Amino acid sequence: MSRRQVGDVSGKRDYYEVLGLSKDATDTEVKRAFRSLARQHHPDKNPDDTDSEKRFKEVQEAYAVLSDPDERRKYDMFGHEQPGGSPFGPGGFQGINISIDDLFGGGFESIFSQLFSGTRGTRRNRGQDLLVHHEVPFQAAMAGLEDEIEIDVLKVCAKCDGTGSESPDGVRECPTCDGRGRLQRIERAGPFTKQVVSDCPTCRGEGRIVQDPCSGCRGHGRASQAKQIRFMVPAGISSGTRLRMRGHGEAPKGNRGNSGDLYIQIEVKSHPWFERDGPDLLMALPLGYVDLVLGTEIEIPHIDGKSLSIKVPAGSKPGETLTIADRGLPGARGRRGRGSVTVLLKLDMPGRVPRGLRKSLEGMRDQIGTDMDSLQDRIRDEAIGRRRG
C-alpha cells in the first residue's frame, strides 16, 4: 500500500536550512533561531544593505510557516511545491514590519499569528490534500499504464454521516464563539495595532460541540478508510511527475465543503540497460575487437516491442556513439514524435584468454599491434581529436 511521503522539488531554500534547524526542531527552538537571525539581519542594524534585507525577509518567511502548526505540517509533506501555490497568496510573502524592540520584547508572535487567518475560513471548508509516492515499471514511460493503488484516507463517517454525534440532538452550537468557530481580538505589536483572528479554543474552530460522540469516529465526523484509486499513467512520464486526482483527498471536517485532492508522485523504475535523458535513451554496447574492426549488425529486444537493430561500421573505435532516431520514448504531455537511442561502443576485454588463443594472438602481434616508434604520435593525435570533439 502506498504511503504519504515528503517531497520537494523547488529551487527555493529549505525553511529549516534558513533557520539552521533540523526537521524535528521544537517550537521553542524555531522561535529562538528566528529571534537570533532576525536581530542579526534587521534593516535597522544593516542600513542600505540589500543582502541583509533579503536575508531578513527570508528568515521571516521561514518563521511564518514553521511557527504555524498547520502550515508546518503542509510544508513537511509537500515542501515549497504544496498544492494551491504559496500559502501567502499569489503575491507570495511580502515581509512584515517588525521593530527591533519587538525582537527583544517578544511582541512579534501576534503579528505572525494573523498571517494565515484571512484564508483559514475558506480552507476549513475543504479537506486536506494528500501526497503518495508510487513506483511504475520502465515500460510505462513507453506505452503508458492503467494502474491502481490503495490508500488509507479520512472519509466521512458512515455511521453518523459526518456529524460526529450518535444522535441529531447530540450537537449544539458553541457558546463561546456563537457557532462561528473563530474569535477576534485587538492586540498591540510595537507601534502597530493588529486585529488577530484565531480558532475558538472551546470548539477548536468547529463552531459546535458534540455532547454524544459517535462510536464509529469518536466524535470527529471522519474515520480512516481504505480506498482503491484507479488512474492513468501517461506515456512519456518521468520520475517526479505528480498526477492530480481531484476529490480523492481527505473529507472536510463536519462534512461541510469539498474533499481535498490526492497527488500521486510517480517514480519510474530503472531499465536493465537503458539510461534516460528526457525522451532519449542511452546504452553501452560491449563488443569484441574483431566486431569493431570488421563491423557487425546486432539485434536486441526493445521496449516498443520491435527488435532494435544496431549497425556497427567497420573500423569503429571504443568510445564512439551511434544514434538511432525515433526509437526512444514518446514526448511527455502529448508532444509528437519519439526520442532517439544513443549507443556507446565499448571494447569488451575477455577476463581469461585460453592458452591456444594466446599463442594465436602472440603470432598476430606484429600485424595488429601498435608500432612503438609512432606511439607518441598516436597519443598526440588521439588527444587532439578528443579535444576537438
Instruction: State residue 368's pLDDT score.
Output: 67
The answer to whether 6 is a known ligand-binding residue is no
Note the maximum CA span of the chain: 103
Instruction: State residue 3's pLDDT score.
Output: 36
Residue 40 has pLDDT above 80, yes or no: yes
Tell me which residue has cell 538511432.
324
Instruction: State residue 109's pLDDT score.
Output: 63
The answer to whether 308 is a known ligand-binding residue is no
CATH topology for 275-388? HSP40/DNAj peptide-binding domain (2.60.260)
Contact 227, 244 (CB under 8 A): no
- Three-state secondary structure string covering 189-225: ECCEEEEEEEECCCCCCCCEEECCECCCCCCCCEEEE
Contact 246, 127 (CB under 8 A): no
Residue 105 has pLDDT above 70, yes or no: no
CA 289, CA 138: separation in Å to the nearest integer?
32
The answer to whether 217 is a known ligand-binding residue is yes
CATH topology for 1-115? Helix Hairpins (1.10.287)
Among the listed ranges 47-56, 90-99, 352-361, which one has the minimum average pLDDT value? 90-99
Q: Where are the domains of the chain?
A: 1-115, 275-388
Tell me which residue has cell 599491434.
369
The answer to whether 231 is a known ligand-binding residue is no
Ordered strands of the 275-277 beta sheet: 275-277, 280-287, 341-347, 321-324
Contact 152, 1 (CB under 8 A): yes
Q: Which three cell numbers stand for residue 191?
A: 507601534
Among the listed ranges 89-93, 162-166, 357-361, 369-373, which one has the minimum average pLDDT value? 369-373
The torsion angles phi and psi of 255, rounded to 5 degrees, stand at 60, 35
Residues 111-167 have pLDDT tens digits of 676 566 544 443 346 788 999 999 999 999 999 999 999 999 999 888 888 888 888
Higher pLDDT, 367 or 107: 367
Domains 1-115 and 275-388 share a fold: no
* pLDDT band, residue 199 (cuts 50/70/90): confident
The answer to whether 177 is a known ligand-binding residue is yes
Arithmetic mean of pLDDT, 325-351? 88
The answer to whether 174 is a known ligand-binding residue is yes
Q: Which of 61-75, 76-90, 132-146, 160-174 has the highest average model confidence (pLDDT)?
A: 132-146
Question: At 29, is the secondary structure helix, strand, or coil?
Answer: helix
The answer to whether 214 is a known ligand-binding residue is yes
Q: Which three cell numbers stand for residue 37?
A: 537571525
Arithmetic mean of pLDDT, 4-11? 44
Three-point CA angle 3, 73, 193, nearest 5°:
165
CA 385, CA 371: separation in Å to the nearest integer?
19
Contact 301, 307 (CB under 8 A): yes
Residue 182 has pLDDT above 90, yes or no: no
Arithmetic mean of pLDDT, 17-40? 90
Instruction: State residue 8's pLDDT score.
Output: 44
Residue (of 257, 258, 241) closest to 249 by Cα position: 258
Residues 271-315 have pLDDT tens digits of 999 999 999 999 999 999 889 999 999 999 999 999 999 999 999
Question: At 386, is the secondary structure helix, strand, or coil?
Answer: helix
